[in-house]
Amino acid sequence: MPRRLNVEELSCWADTVSYLGDGIPEATEMLRNRGIGLGDRFIRPDFPEGALTLYGPVLASHFAERIRNSSPGDYFTVHQVNELIDAMRNTLGDAGVQPLVHAVTTRGFIGGSTDQ
């Protein structure tokens, strides 16, 4: 029976995007502008080989939007966001993670590697 997914379910589906290989652009397009935040269970992805090299800007935009739709609720979430930015910075450089840094600053996530 068809139904609408709740916010936490959408968040969990959005967490899988980094692992979809060639499906990353299509998945991010389907999830765009749906107000999906990071969710209570967000853990920064362990990016598969090549994901950031091939789709870094798309993934940066995807995670920046999710951060903009989130609140820095607790230390764990803030820590995972910092870890996300660090992991992406290793491949994309400072310029590549600027959408995330801007989102973090706008939403009030503070600490660690996001301070620029």
- Residue 84 burial by Cβ neighbours in a 10 Å radius (0-12, 13-18, 19+): buried
Predicted confidence pLDDT, tens digits, the chain (116 residues):
556 878 888 899 999 999 999 999 999 999 999 999 998 889 999 999 999 999 999 999 999 999 999 988 888 989 999 999 999 999 999 999 999 999 999 998 875 444 44
Structural domain spans, the chain: 7-114
The sign of the torsion formed by the CA atoms of 8, 13, 16, 22 equals: negative
- The DSSP 8-state label assigned to residue 2 in this structure reads -
Q: What secondary structure letter does DSSP report for 111?
A: S
Full-model pTM: 0.89
